Protein backbone atom coordinates (compact mmCIF):
# COMPACT_ATOMS: atom_id res chain seq x y z
CA UNK A 1 0.00 0.00 0.00
CA UNK A 2 1.33 3.44 -0.96
CA UNK A 3 2.45 5.67 1.84
CA UNK A 4 0.47 8.90 2.43
CA UNK A 5 3.12 11.10 0.85
CA UNK A 6 3.24 9.05 -2.35
CA UNK A 7 -0.54 8.94 -2.49
CA UNK A 8 -0.76 12.70 -2.01
CA UNK A 9 1.78 13.37 -4.75
CA UNK A 10 0.19 10.97 -7.25
CA UNK A 11 -3.25 12.31 -6.43
CA UNK A 12 -2.09 15.88 -6.86
CA UNK A 13 -0.41 15.19 -10.19
CA UNK A 14 -3.47 13.31 -11.47
CA UNK A 15 -5.78 16.12 -10.40
CA UNK A 16 -3.54 18.73 -12.01
CA UNK A 17 -3.44 16.80 -15.28
CA UNK A 18 -7.23 16.50 -15.25
CA UNK A 19 -7.56 20.19 -14.50
CA UNK A 20 -5.26 21.19 -17.35
CA UNK A 21 -7.11 18.85 -19.70
CA UNK A 22 -10.42 20.40 -18.72
CA UNK A 23 -9.02 23.88 -19.30
CA UNK A 24 -7.88 22.83 -22.75
CA UNK A 25 -11.35 21.49 -23.52
CA UNK A 26 -12.85 24.76 -22.29
CA UNK A 27 -10.48 26.70 -24.52
CA UNK A 28 -11.52 24.57 -27.50
CA UNK A 29 -15.18 25.22 -26.72
CA UNK A 30 -14.53 28.97 -26.67
CA UNK A 31 -12.71 28.76 -30.00
CA UNK A 32 -15.67 26.84 -31.40
CA UNK A 33 -17.96 29.56 -30.09
CA UNK A 34 -15.89 32.23 -31.86
CA UNK A 35 -15.97 30.18 -35.08
CA UNK A 36 -19.74 29.72 -34.85
CA UNK A 37 -20.29 33.44 -34.35
CA UNK A 38 -17.93 34.37 -37.18
CA UNK A 39 -19.70 31.92 -39.52
CA UNK A 40 -23.09 33.32 -38.50
CA UNK A 41 -21.95 36.87 -39.24
CA UNK A 42 -20.65 35.81 -42.66
CA UNK A 43 -23.79 33.82 -43.53
CA UNK A 44 -25.94 36.70 -42.33
CA UNK A 45 -24.18 39.11 -44.69
CA UNK A 46 -24.46 36.62 -47.56
CA UNK A 47 -28.18 36.18 -46.97
CA UNK A 48 -28.74 39.93 -46.82
CA UNK A 49 -26.67 40.54 -49.97
CA UNK A 50 -28.57 37.79 -51.80
CA UNK A 51 -31.83 39.37 -50.71
CA UNK A 52 -30.68 42.75 -51.98
CA UNK A 53 -29.77 41.07 -55.27
CA UNK A 54 -33.25 39.55 -55.57
CA UNK A 55 -34.76 42.92 -54.63
CA UNK A 56 -32.81 44.62 -57.41
CA UNK A 57 -33.84 41.91 -59.91
CA UNK A 58 -37.50 42.48 -59.15
CA UNK A 59 -37.06 46.24 -59.36
CA UNK A 60 -35.40 45.81 -62.74
CA UNK A 61 -38.34 43.73 -63.99
CA UNK A 62 -40.67 46.44 -62.74
CA UNK A 63 -38.67 49.09 -64.62
CA UNK A 64 -38.86 46.99 -67.80
CA UNK A 65 -42.65 46.83 -67.50
CA UNK A 66 -42.82 50.61 -67.00
CA UNK A 67 -40.50 51.14 -69.98
CA UNK A 68 -42.80 48.98 -72.09
CA UNK A 69 -45.72 51.18 -71.06
CA UNK A 70 -43.76 54.19 -72.30
CA UNK A 71 -43.12 52.40 -75.60
CA UNK A 72 -46.79 51.52 -75.93
CA UNK A 73 -47.69 55.19 -75.36
CA UNK A 74 -45.45 56.22 -78.24
CA UNK A 75 -46.80 53.49 -80.53
CA UNK A 76 -50.38 54.34 -79.62
CA UNK A 77 -49.92 58.04 -80.32
CA UNK A 78 -48.25 57.27 -83.65
CA UNK A 79 -51.03 54.88 -84.66
CA UNK A 80 -53.73 57.43 -83.84
CA UNK A 81 -51.94 60.12 -85.85
CA UNK A 82 -51.65 57.73 -88.81
CA UNK A 83 -55.34 56.82 -88.58
CA UNK A 84 -56.22 60.51 -88.58
CA UNK A 85 -53.98 61.16 -91.57
CA UNK A 86 -55.55 58.27 -93.43
CA UNK A 87 -59.02 59.56 -92.69
CA UNK A 88 -58.18 63.09 -93.89
CA UNK A 89 -56.56 61.73 -97.03
CA UNK A 90 -59.53 59.50 -97.91
CA UNK A 91 -61.97 62.28 -97.11
CA UNK A 92 -60.12 64.72 -99.37
CA UNK A 93 -59.91 62.20 -102.24
CA UNK A 94 -63.62 61.40 -102.11
CA UNK A 95 -64.59 65.07 -102.05
CA UNK A 96 -62.17 65.95 -104.87
CA UNK A 97 -63.55 63.21 -107.09
CA UNK A 98 -67.15 64.09 -106.38
CA UNK A 99 -67.81 67.49 -104.81
CA UNK A 100 -71.48 66.51 -104.47
CA UNK A 101 -70.78 63.31 -102.58
CA UNK A 102 -73.51 62.39 -100.13
CA UNK A 103 -73.15 62.91 -96.44
CA UNK A 104 -73.73 59.19 -95.92
CA UNK A 105 -70.47 58.39 -97.70
CA UNK A 106 -68.56 60.96 -95.65
CA UNK A 107 -70.18 59.74 -92.46
CA UNK A 108 -69.12 56.20 -93.36
CA UNK A 109 -65.52 57.34 -93.77
CA UNK A 110 -65.62 59.14 -90.47
CA UNK A 111 -67.14 56.11 -88.73
CA UNK A 112 -64.46 53.84 -90.18
CA UNK A 113 -61.71 56.06 -88.81
CA UNK A 114 -63.45 56.29 -85.45
CA UNK A 115 -63.85 52.50 -85.22
CA UNK A 116 -60.15 51.96 -86.02
CA UNK A 117 -59.07 54.40 -83.34
CA UNK A 118 -61.55 52.94 -80.84
CA UNK A 119 -60.29 49.41 -81.48
CA UNK A 120 -56.71 50.54 -81.03
CA UNK A 121 -57.59 52.36 -77.82
CA UNK A 122 -59.21 49.26 -76.33
CA UNK A 123 -56.17 47.10 -77.04
CA UNK A 124 -53.86 49.85 -75.77
CA UNK A 125 -55.74 50.21 -72.48
CA UNK A 126 -55.68 46.43 -71.96
CA UNK A 127 -51.93 46.20 -72.57
CA UNK A 128 -51.14 49.19 -70.35
CA UNK A 129 -53.29 47.79 -67.54
CA UNK A 130 -51.51 44.44 -67.78
CA UNK A 131 -48.04 46.01 -67.72
CA UNK A 132 -48.99 48.33 -64.88
CA UNK A 133 -50.21 45.36 -62.83
CA UNK A 134 -46.94 43.55 -63.58
CA UNK A 135 -44.88 46.52 -62.42
CA UNK A 136 -46.91 46.78 -59.21
CA UNK A 137 -46.52 43.06 -58.53
CA UNK A 138 -42.77 43.16 -59.16
CA UNK A 139 -42.47 46.09 -56.74
CA UNK A 140 -44.43 44.13 -54.13
CA UNK A 141 -42.24 41.06 -54.62
CA UNK A 142 -39.12 43.22 -54.35
CA UNK A 143 -40.19 44.53 -50.96
CA UNK A 144 -41.06 41.02 -49.80
CA UNK A 145 -37.64 39.73 -50.89
CA UNK A 146 -35.89 42.50 -48.99
CA UNK A 147 -38.02 42.07 -45.89
CA UNK A 148 -37.56 38.27 -45.86
CA UNK A 149 -33.80 38.50 -46.38
CA UNK A 150 -33.48 40.98 -43.51
CA UNK A 151 -35.51 38.71 -41.25
CA UNK A 152 -33.50 35.65 -42.30
CA UNK A 153 -30.23 37.53 -41.86
CA UNK A 154 -31.22 38.60 -38.35
CA UNK A 155 -32.33 35.06 -37.51
CA UNK A 156 -28.98 33.65 -38.63
CA UNK A 157 -27.19 36.10 -36.33
CA UNK A 158 -29.54 35.27 -33.47
CA UNK A 159 -29.08 31.51 -33.84
CA UNK A 160 -25.31 31.89 -34.13
CA UNK A 161 -25.19 34.07 -31.03
CA UNK A 162 -27.30 31.56 -29.08
CA UNK A 163 -25.12 28.64 -30.12
CA UNK A 164 -21.95 30.58 -29.29
CA UNK A 165 -23.41 31.59 -25.92
CA UNK A 166 -24.17 27.95 -25.17
CA UNK A 167 -20.64 26.87 -26.03
CA UNK A 168 -19.15 29.61 -23.87
CA UNK A 169 -21.41 28.57 -21.01
CA UNK A 170 -20.18 25.00 -21.39
CA UNK A 171 -16.59 26.26 -21.31
CA UNK A 172 -17.24 28.31 -18.18
CA UNK A 173 -18.94 25.38 -16.45
CA UNK A 174 -16.10 23.06 -17.41
CA UNK A 175 -13.51 25.46 -15.98
CA UNK A 176 -15.48 25.91 -12.77
CA UNK A 177 -16.04 22.16 -12.38
CA UNK A 178 -12.39 21.37 -13.05
CA UNK A 179 -11.25 23.98 -10.54
CA UNK A 180 -13.65 22.66 -7.91
CA UNK A 181 -12.46 19.10 -8.47
CA UNK A 182 -8.84 20.20 -8.19
CA UNK A 183 -9.44 21.99 -4.92
CA UNK A 184 -11.48 19.05 -3.68
CA UNK A 185 -8.66 16.64 -4.42
CA UNK A 186 -6.31 18.75 -2.31
CA UNK A 187 -8.73 18.71 0.58
CA UNK A 188 -9.25 14.94 0.39
CA UNK A 189 -5.53 14.22 0.93
CA UNK A 190 -5.60 15.94 4.31
CA UNK A 191 -2.78 18.30 3.35
CA UNK A 192 -2.76 22.04 3.11
CA UNK A 193 -2.18 23.83 -0.18
CA UNK A 194 1.46 24.75 0.57
CA UNK A 195 2.36 21.16 1.45
CA UNK A 196 0.68 19.87 -1.65
CA UNK A 197 2.61 22.26 -3.87
CA UNK A 198 5.85 21.30 -2.11
CA UNK A 199 5.42 17.57 -2.65
CA UNK A 200 4.29 18.01 -6.25
CA UNK A 201 7.40 20.09 -6.85
CA UNK A 202 9.61 17.37 -5.27
CA UNK A 203 7.99 14.73 -7.46
CA UNK A 204 8.37 16.81 -10.61
CA UNK A 205 12.02 17.65 -10.02
CA UNK A 206 13.17 14.18 -8.97
CA UNK A 207 11.29 11.99 -11.41
Q: Which of 39-43, 60-64, 70-74, 105-109 has the lowest mean pLDDT?
A: 105-109
- Does position 27 have pLDDT exceeding 70, yes or no? yes
Predicted confidence at residue 139, as pLDDT, reads: 96
Would you mind telling me the total number of residues written for the chain in this entry?
Answer: 207
**pLDDT band per the 50, 70, 90 thresholds, residue 17:** low
Average pLDDT over residues 152-168: 92
Distance CA 55, CA 194 (A): 68
Distances (CA, A) of 59 to 4, 8, 55: 81, 76, 6
Predicted confidence at residue 117, as pLDDT, reads: 65
Higher pLDDT, 37 or 203: 37
**pLDDT band per the 50, 70, 90 thresholds, residue 19:** low
Q: What is the residue-averaged pLDDT of the chain?
A: 76
- Does position 111 have pLDDT exceeding 90, yes or no? no
Give the H/E segment covering residue 43. Answer: helix 4-97
Q: Which of 17-26, 34-43, 127-136 has the lowest mean pLDDT?
A: 17-26
Predicted confidence at residue 2, as pLDDT, reads: 47
DSSP states along 2-13:
--HHHHHHHHHH
> Which residues contact residue 167 at a Cβ distance below 8 angstroms, ignoring those fewer than 6 apart?
29, 30, 32, 33, 36
Predicted confidence at residue 9, as pLDDT, reads: 47
- Does position 1 have pLDDT exceeding 50, yes or no? no
DSSP states along 83-118:
HHHHHHHHHHHHHHH-TT--HHHHHHHHHHHHHHHH
Higher pLDDT, 45 or 21: 45
Percent of the chain residues topping a pLDDT of 70: 58
Buried b (16+ CB within 10 A) or exposed e, 29-60: bbebbeebbeebeebbeebbeebeebbeebbe
Distance CA 85, CA 79 (A): 10
Predicted confidence at residue 199, as pLDDT, reads: 41
Is residue 205 classed exposed, middle or buried when 0-12, 13-18 and 19+ CB atoms within 10 A define those classes? exposed
Tell me: the pLDDT tens digits for 182-205? 555 555 555 445 545 544 443 344
Amino acid sequence: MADPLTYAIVSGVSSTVSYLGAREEAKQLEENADAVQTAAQYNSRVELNNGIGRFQDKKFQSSVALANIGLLNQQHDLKNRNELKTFKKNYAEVVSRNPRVSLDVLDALEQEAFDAIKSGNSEYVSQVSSLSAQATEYDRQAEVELMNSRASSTNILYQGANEARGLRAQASNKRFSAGAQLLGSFAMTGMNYESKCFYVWIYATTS
